[in-house]
Amino acid sequence: MDSSELTIEVVLIDDGSRDDTALKIRQLALTDERYHGVFLSRNHGHQLALTAGISTAKGTEAIFVIDGDLQDPPELLPEFYRLLKEGNDVVYAVRKKRKESFIKKTGYHLFYRILRSISYVDIPLDSGDFALVSRRVVDVMKKMPEESRYLRGMRSWIGFQQTGFQYERDARAAGESKYSFKQLFRLAYNGIFNFSEFPVKFMSRVGVLAILISLLYFIIVVVKKLFFAQVIEGFTSLLFVIILFSGVQLLALGIIGEYVLRIFFQSKNRPLFIIKEEIVNREYTSPDAV
């Protein structure tokens, strides 16, 4: 920042931390007006914390979205900005190499490719939230009040000129990730159910397949009865039918439930996040919920 010719404001989001993060943000924001501290009322989660930053950032030209663990190097800002000035509205980072566990790397690799194959939006492979986004794209994102957010999908859905920049992702600089496997699966669900019609269409296909299997089984039973004088045991056939259709129905209910749950939370129309306090230009403010 000190060596850059750009005018840079840094928005630091405290997402309900339980360590000294809030204290360090306060110290920084009260001594250097380039830093803008935003303190959420509780832990709202990664995607909503990023949404809070995007919503409060005042950058007139672009917003640089980056996590605080320094796995994504802020030193890439000049390269991203160069690509932005070449006519791109979004410059997203593409991870060509990760320094994480084998299980996580494999899971990420498979997920991005599965999502790409079933999504109706062209979501780039191996790209996360680390990106430089023009102000007009940010303004559109602020008008999208989805409760179950998947920012990289929303960013792709908006469109405009977008380009990727490959980089090697570093290991976490300090501490341990608070992103549990449960939260990762929730993020994956948001990506699949918000940007793909596949779950509903898949259930229709499973239903048709179940009917075809049942009809085939029925034909086999009739043929054995009429031509071979064999009758399949009633208990076995009944058990097969019950297990088949019960499994299909439970799967269908689960998929429908995922959509109903998202409709339920969205219909409440609650604020996406609540800002407890802010430090802007080295002064405290208490904004309303957003």
- pLDDT of 288 reads 58
- pLDDT of 18 reads 86
Task: For residue 250, name the pLDDT band (cuts at 50, 70, 90).
Answer: confident
- pLDDT of 178 reads 66
Mean pLDDT across the chain, nearest whole number? 82
pLDDT tens, residue by residue, 16-53: 888 888 899 998 989 888 999 999 988 888 888 899 89
- pLDDT of 229 reads 65
**Residue 1 clears pLDDT 90, i.e. is over it:** no
- Distance CA(202)–CA(245), nearest Å, equals 15
- pLDDT of 232 reads 59
**Residue 12 clears pLDDT 90, i.e. is over it:** yes
| Residue in this structure with the two tokens 């250097």, named with its chain if needed | 32
Record the pTM.
Answer: 0.75
Tell me what percent of the residues of the chain surpass a pLDDT of 90: 7
Architecture of domain 45-196: Alpha-Beta Complex (3.90)
**Residue 289 clears pLDDT 60, i.e. is over it:** no
End-to-end Cα spacing for the chain: 29
- pLDDT of 20 reads 87
**Residue 147 clears pLDDT 80, i.e. is over it:** yes
> Which one is predicted more confidently, 35 or 125?
35
pLDDT tens, residue by residue, 192-229: 777 777 887 887 787 778 778 777 877 777 777 777 76
Q: What is the mean pLDDT of residues 5-18?
A: 88
**Residue 235 clears pLDDT 70, i.e. is over it:** no
- pLDDT of 231 reads 61
**Residue 96 clears pLDDT 70, i.e. is over it:** yes
pLDDT tens, residue by residue, 170-198: 776 666 766 666 777 777 777 777 777 78
> Which one is predicted more confidently, 70 or 141?
141
- pLDDT of 152 reads 85
